[in-house]
Chain A
Amino acid sequence: MSQISKNDISQLDEASQVELLKFVESENAKAKLQSSIHMFTDMCFKKCVPTITMGSVSPAESTCLTNCVDRFLDTNIFVVNKISKSMQK
């Protein structure tokens, strides 16, 4: 795989460098989201799909999966609030 060389980057004018930095930032944010999705899928697949009986997700399983993500995010918010309250005391 080819590597990104410092020489290449140094040949760019400042406007291009700024554009590239913004690109990297935006792709980085997207990659973090994807990483979260991987984590949630792993966790929720284990919770919602106990056995493999067919090659597609059933409506019940689909509901379980979306509930799983929503409840995890609610849990996260809950815990953040609780911890921040106890830190204020």
Chain B
Amino acid sequence: MAFSLFGGSDKKDSGAAPTSGNSSNVNSIKENLQAQILQEIALTNATELISKISNNCYEKCILNPGSSLSTADATCLDQCSEKYIQAWNTISRRYLARVQSESKN
């Protein structure tokens, strides 16, 4: 019982067949690991985007910090965020196209 508190399993005790070599188990382990990796990468990407948009749009929109976000502030932030994401897509397309054409040379 104490073993399970540390995240261990009691597969050995149950007398079940060893799991290594069982192909469906191997596939699900592999898929889980791949899914975890993809999730980490997606999270990193989102975090980076949020950070960049916050910094850039704060600089462009909040010129005189008041005691709260005004409607004008909110509109500017909204427009700025949209613009930034569009810019990201434009640059992503161009950069990837360039990388592909450079690698062909």
| A51 lies within 8 A of B91 (CB) | no
| B20 lies within 8 A of A70 (CB) | no
Identify B82's interface contact among A19, A55, A69, CB under 8 A.
A55
Q: Identify whether the interface residues of A are mostly helix, strand, loop, or mixed.
A: helix
Complex Cα distance A33/B96, Å? 8
Identify B98's interface contact among A9, A27, A35, A69, CB under 8 A.
A69
Instruction: Kindly provide the distance from the CB of A40 to the nearest chain B CB, expressed in whole angstroms.
Output: 5
**45-89 of chain A: CB within 8 A of chain B:** 45-46, 48-49, 51-52, 54-57, 61-62, 65-66, 68-70, 73
| B60 lies within 8 A of A8 (CB) | no
Instruction: Kindly provide the distance from the CB of B97 to the nearest chain A CB, expressed in whole angstroms.
Output: 10
Count the A residues whose beta carbon is within 8 Å of the partner chain — how many?
44
| B87 lies within 8 A of A44 (CB) | yes
| A37 lies within 8 A of B91 (CB) | yes
Q: Quick check: is B92 within 8 A (CB to CB) of the other chain?
A: yes
**1-59 of chain A: CB within 8 A of chain B:** 1-2, 4, 8-9, 11-13, 16, 19-20, 23-24, 27, 30-31, 33-38, 40-42, 44-46, 48-49, 51-52, 54-57
| A to B CB contacts below 8 Å, 30 in the list | A4-B37, A11-B29, A12-B29, A13-B20, A20-B30, A20-B34, A23-B34, A27-B37, A31-B41, A33-B95, A33-B96, A36-B95, A37-B91, A37-B92, A40-B95, A41-B84, A42-B56, A44-B87, A46-B56, A48-B87, A52-B76, A52-B80, A55-B82, A56-B82, A56-B86, A57-B83, A65-B87, A65-B90, A69-B95, A70-B94
Further 19 A-B residue pairs, CB within 8 A, beyond A40-B91, A65-B91: A8-B33, A11-B19, A13-B21, A13-B26, A23-B37, A30-B41, A33-B96, A38-B88, A41-B92, A42-B56, A48-B87, A52-B60, A52-B83, A55-B82, A56-B82, A57-B86, A65-B87, A66-B90, A69-B95
